[in-house]
Amino acid sequence: MLYKRGGEMNREKTHFQGVKESLRFLNFESGFHKIGFICLLCIVFLASVGAFSGGYLSEVTRKNTLKTTGLQYERFGRLQTEFKFKISAQKYDSVNKTLRIGGDFNKFYEMENIWPQPDSMYSKGNDLYLVYNDSEAMQNFTIWLRVTPVKPGSVKSFLQLNGEPEIRFRQFIYP
């Protein structure tokens, strides 16, 4: 009989038909859940600090060796997501400023906006040249570029202002 007095079930004599579970596979599944949870926490943490775009790990400022030209950009970007470059020259002596952008820049990015607009612009090989004719020398000078990545991968680029030392920079574009 399966029932004792008071309607309680006798568990020792009860046997259910079903799947025979393997302790080895149950332990494997449990371990996999723990590892998956830890991986998920790591991904959320990395995203919150900017490992994938926009954040502490992503925002970078570089200067040339003379410390006269600076570049602010994001180290990580996403495909088809617009972001900006800020190029600045401090107290520059030359009236005419020619900014050269080269490397993989033109292969990986589509230019959306340049502010202020250059007086002239041309390309030579894989390099893009922006020319500014400014009557006020010795002022701080800033150029904003808004670009959209068109290819995923690692991008190695450089920029140079009036033949000064180059600023080399690297970015990674996620698909």
Q: For residue range 116-148, what is the model confidence (pLDDT) as tens digits?
A: 999 999 999 999 999 998 756 557 889 999 999
Structure tokens at 40: 């998920």
For residue 92, what pLDDT is reported? 66
For residue 7, what pLDDT is reported? 54
Q: Which long-range contacts (CB under 8 A, 24 or more apart) does 101-105 make?
A: 101/127, 101/128, 101/129, 101/130, 101/157, 101/158, 101/159, 102/126, 102/127, 102/128, 102/157, 102/158, 102/159, 102/160, 103/155, 103/156, 103/157, 103/158, 103/168, 104/155, 104/156, 104/157, 105/155, 105/157
For residue 52, what pLDDT is reported? 74
Query: Strands, E, within 2-95: which ranges?
Result: 59-63, 69-74, 76-78, 83-89
Structure tokens at 3: 């029932």
Q: For residue range 42-97, what is the model confidence (pLDDT) as tens digits?
A: 999 888 887 777 777 888 999 999 999 999 999 999 999 999 999 998 866 677 88
Sheet holding 83-89, edge to edge: 59-63, 69-74, 83-89, 141-149, 109-115
pTM score, whole prediction:
0.72
Q: Which fold has domain 59-174?
A: Immunoglobulin-like (2.60.40)
Provide the residue ranges of all domains of the chain, joining segments of one domain with +.
24-52, 59-174
